[in-house]
Amino acid sequence: MITLEDSYPFQQPVDPVTLNIPDYLTIIKHPMDISTIHNKLLRGEYKNPLEFCDDAWLYNRKTTRIYKVCTKLVELFAESIDPVVQALGYCCGRQHVYLPQVLLCYGKEQCCQISVNDNYYYYNNPELSQFNLSNDRYTICTKCFNSVQSDSIFMGDDPIQTLIEIPKSLFLLAKNYTKEPEIVINCIVCTRRWHQVCALHLDQIWSEENRYIASKLPVNDLSSQLEKRANNFFT
């Protein structure tokens, strides 16, 4: 990766001042580059191969300006790292993530949606036992948030019930672009770490007796219609 000519933008830590990108550290919460990964590897700071892979995928994130360069690096890294970590007994060196989901807006009558890449406000609820306010997080779109003229917002799980007053100052601004990583679990037998999705589809773990594989699921009219509709959509 170091000797690859296309990796030059990632050889050293990004300097937001020199590049005139003051919002870089706001968008990229955990900056990473090849030299930092290399030095951490030489100092023995990685406890297992997947920690190394996690850092590597951080600097491989695709951006508009250097999309093609990132694509090449992603392909090269995936081809190179998988055989290495699999030989050590791990599932793979890939980073499995899920795209951001559309969020529900709790403002007004809860009829708005927060689409992917939209800005929104959220409130972290410290008391999950509150009446009509039992979730750990409440989101509200910028339109509903700005439409409230007072210093507080009334919201709750059920808009018909008594709503709870929350100061607007407790809401934090965010953007709905965060990808959710696949869960990594620790095997109770070998103590190695596995992606949950990899472990659930691994032949060595799930034998012929596994009744939850797709080919063994019961078939009915509803499942047949869903499968037909999905096949038509993808074809």
Contact assessment for residue 124 and residue 135, using Cβ atoms and an 8 Å cutoff: no
pLDDT tens digits, residue range 6-36? Answer: 777 778 887 878 878 776 666 666 778 888 8
The whole-angstrom separation of Cα 197 and Cα 185 is: 10
Q: Beta strands 97-98 and 180-181: pairing type?
A: antiparallel
For residue 45, the one-letter residue type is E
Give strand pairing partners of 137. Answer: 124
CA 85 to chain centre: 22
Q: Give per-residue pLDDT as tens, 169-196.
A: 999 999 898 878 888 887 777 777 788 8
Domains parsed from the chain with CATH numbers: 5-96 (1.20.920.10), 103-175 (no CATH), 197-234 (no CATH)
